[in-house]
Amino acid sequence: MKFFTKSIVRKMILTTIVPSVIMFLVLIFIVVGHVKESISEQSNEVIKRSSISASWQISQYLTDYMSMVETGAVNNTFKNFMENVGPETNAKDSPDFEAVMNELKQLEYLDTTNIQAAWIGDLDSSQLIMSDGYVSDLGGDWEITERAWYISMMERLGVAVSEPYIDQSTQKLVVTIACPVYNNGKMVGAYGVDMSLDQLTTMFSGLKLGETGYYCFVTRNNTVLYHPKTEYVMQSVSDLPIGDEAENMLMNVSADVVEYDVDGQKLYGFTSSIGSTGWKVVSAMPSQEFEKPFKQTQNILFIFISAIMLVICAIIYIAARNIVKPLRQLANVSDKIAEGDLDVELNIKTRDETSLVANSFNKTVVRLKGYIAYIEEISELLKRIGTGNLQLDFKQNYDGEFAIIKEALVSTTEMLNDTLSQISVASQQVASGSDQVSSGAQALSQGATEQASSIEELSATMNDISSQIKQTAENATKAKAIAQHATTATNHGQEQMQLMVEAMEEISRTSNEIGKIIKNIDDIAFQTNILALNAAVEAARAGSAGRGFAVVADEVRNLASKSAESAKNTSALIESALHAIEKGTLIVNRTANSLEEIVHGSEESAEIIQYIANASNEQAQAITQVNLGVEQISAVVQTNSATAEEEAAASEELSAQAQLLQELLSRFTLKSDVGARETFFNSMEKESYEDMDQFDEGEDDFKY
């Protein structure tokens, strides 16, 4: 997989590495700031401590000589000498002069390396006596109160170190350490030593600050006592080619490390005082060395964090690959499912949610297989119902919403089966009754024809009418019984026709209920379609992870559409059946009207036959009435013949309608009790045969 294609790996890397980089950059900025501050504090502390240590070393070095001078200032020989020498007394004339010279030489010999001379200065005579034998002239140019060391000594009211100067005889850099001499609380003069700064300069040069740093020593009056650049030595700070910030740095004692520039070089330094001398030690560390620990730490941090970032990237990439790998398997399986291949199985074993998704996916595939089996079986059963086969055989165990569909199908088919079974029985009853009515009408028509023949014979043989009047009366009585029997049968047929009308109405009402149930099935299919559409929308919101569910939802929606279409087809068939039932109901009503007319005709036939009987009785009384009675009988016979023909035609029409209803019902395969039906129809046929036998007997009697 290419990294720059759209993938979860890239998204994970972008959504984790970019924030991590930003976080690490912020962290680096904060850490570097703190590290810089911490290292700066440490470096400042090092500079401070180093400067203080250097000043302490120089202070200790000078303190030894200052202590030595303070010790010499309390020498009694010096005190007595200065007390005895007056303003006009030459120092050499004093009896203590030799002793003083010896003391001075001994003090000089204590450190011949650094002490060039020891001396005393008498305040009253303003004379200077040195260990090398030099004595200033009394009243000469040398004035003790004008000496720099004297002024400094008086300012400090104690031991003082003069500004460095070049000794005229040795051309060495020298300082004078002087201390006032008191006798009985009165200052009588001063004691001091001239000390060479060669060793001190050597000490200065030996003091190092770090690897490239150095120290600069400045006197009380801001004269450079030592600097690595010799051209700066014995120069006033104000005369150096430095900025105001550096000048202020060199002149004043610092409270903290200061950043300053000298000759364009960036330096960090700290100024500390050397004891009570007023001298200062100024440290100077180049910025490269000062910032070196920070830069090294910064580089280490960058390297360390870069390594961490690389490791994190590798870990995220590997983790993303491990996450994407099972997701690809899920995608491949989803594609197969989308293509209709449900013979898939996921074998993902991880310790995260991916394994749960895979297991859920397997369960979903199993469930989809079950749903497909449900849908296939339901489709097959609906096709059977569409072809008229109401014998349903469910092989699947329906769960969830499909159980409702199963119950609806079962209840629908049972209701249809019961309704159509009743219609079938009623139609067969109608067919049987119409056959009986047709047979009776044919027999009645035949009898009427024979009656007409007999009337003709009766007219031809009027001579035999007297002997046959009695037989005619008897035959009229039998004809009345037959007419009554025909009336009874017609009434029974009318009752059966009324039952068939009620059955037709029940079929119509049940068909309406079936239409409502099919409407419910259509609503279920519509709701399934809506749910599938919602599932597709939710799957679309889930993105690629829901693509498989979108396909499943689309398939469910298609199946719902097919179910709705099947329901519409079934509804159309039921509507056709309703139209046929309405047509059959109309025909049945017409048949019922015809039967009513037959009943009226039969009643009229009975009345006419009664009239015949009465006429036969009257013939016995009045033979003159025979011709009139024969004419009346002929008219009645003709009426009976026409009525019988109409009854036969109506019966044939009723039989045709019953046959049509049977053909419509033959389209359906019902779960009916065949044995009960056979028993019922056998009984009906038996009754019909008995009625026909009785009718035949009456017909035979009539013929006879």
CATH number of the structural domain spanning residue 27 = 3.30.450.20
- 324 and 405 co-located in one domain: no
Flag whether 374 is in a domain. Answer: no
Partnered with residue 218 across adjacent β-strands are: 224, 280
What's the mean pLDDT when you consider all of the chain?
Answer: 75
- 276 and 414 co-located in one domain: no
Check residue 352 and give its pLDDT.
63
Check residue 692 and give its pLDDT.
46
pLDDT over 50 (residue 91): yes
pLDDT over 70 (residue 688): no
Among 311, 335, 359, where does a domain finish?
335
Question: What mean pLDDT comes out for the span 458-476?
Answer: 67
- 316 and 418 co-located in one domain: no
Rounded Cα–Cα distance for residues 688 and 677 (Å): 16
pLDDT over 50 (residue 615): yes
Using pLDDT thresholds of 50, 70 and 90, give the confidence band for residue 466: low
- Model confidence over 199-242: pLDDT tens digits? 878 887 777 777 788 888 888 888 888 888 888 888 887 777 77
- 325 and 446 co-located in one domain: no
pLDDT over 50 (residue 146): yes
- 433 and 309 co-located in one domain: no
- Compare 586 and 2 and report the one with higher pLDDT: 586
Number of domains in the chain: 2
Cα 233 off chain centre by: 78
Check residue 449 and give its pLDDT.
74
Flag whether 276 is in a domain. Answer: yes
Check residue 351 and give its pLDDT.
61
DSSP calls for 139-190: TSS--GGGSHHHHHHHHHTS-EEPPPEE-TTT--EEEEEEEEEEETTEEEEE
Flag whether 345 is in a domain. Answer: no
pLDDT over 60 (residue 565): yes
pLDDT over 60 (residue 678): no
In three-state secondary structure terms, 658 is helix
Flag whether 111 is in a domain. Answer: yes
Q: What is the pTM of this model?
A: 0.42
In three-state secondary structure terms, 382 is helix
**CA dihedral for 374, 379, 384, 388, sign (positive or negative):** positive
Among 335, 359, 377, where does a domain finish?
335
Question: What mean pLDDT comes out for the span 254-273?
Answer: 77
pLDDT over 80 (residue 440): no
**Vertex 358: Cα angle to 356 and 362 (nearest 5):** 115
- 409 and 261 co-located in one domain: no
Q: Which parts of 197-270 are beta strand (E)?
A: 214-218, 224-226, 258-262, 265-269
- 199 and 280 co-located in one domain: yes
Instruction: Answer whether 132's CB lies under 8 Å from 118's CB.
Output: no
Rounded Cα–Cα distance for residues 176 and 116 (Å): 10
pLDDT over 80 (residue 652): no
Which CATH number goes with the domain that contains 485? Answer: 1.10.287.950
The token pair that represents 194 in the structure block: 């001239």
DSSP calls for 447-464: HHHHHHHHHHHHHHTGGG
- 253 and 327 co-located in one domain: yes
Check residue 663 and give its pLDDT.
74
pLDDT over 50 (residue 703): no
Instruction: Answer whether 169's CB lies under 8 Å from 163's CB.
Output: no
- 283 and 424 co-located in one domain: no
- 331 and 408 co-located in one domain: no
- 175 and 305 co-located in one domain: yes
Check residue 348 and give its pLDDT.
67
- Model confidence over 16-65: pLDDT tens digits? 777 777 877 787 778 777 776 777 777 777 877 888 888 888 888 888 88
Which residue, 365, 226, 330, 324, is CA-closest to 282?
Answer: 226
Percent of the chain clearing pLDDT 90 (strictly above): 0
Cα 675 off chain centre by: 65
Question: What mean pLDDT comes out for the span 326-342?
Answer: 72
Among 282, 300, 335, where does a domain finish?
335
Flag whether 563 is in a domain. Answer: yes
Partnered with residue 223 across adjacent β-strands are: 236
Q: Which of 146-150, 404-408, 440-444, 668-672 has the lowest mean pLDDT?
A: 668-672
pLDDT over 60 (residue 389): yes
Flag whether 691 is in a domain. Answer: yes
Question: What mean pLDDT comes out for the span 89-115?
Answer: 83
- Model confidence over 518-553: pLDDT tens digits? 777 777 877 887 877 787 777 777 777 777 767 777
Range of the domain at 322: 1-335
- 137 and 8 co-located in one domain: yes
- Compare 576 and 390 and report the one with higher pLDDT: 576
Flag whether 346 is in a domain. Answer: no
DSSP calls for 486-531: HHHHHHHHHHHHHHHHHHHHHHHHHHHHHHHHHHHHHHHHHHHHHH
Which residue carries 């002069």 as its tokens? Answer: 97
The token pair that represents 169 in the structure block: 């005889």
Percent of the chain clearing pLDDT 70 (strictly above): 79
Flag whether 348 is in a domain. Answer: no
Check residue 150 and give its pLDDT.
86
pLDDT over 70 (residue 197): yes
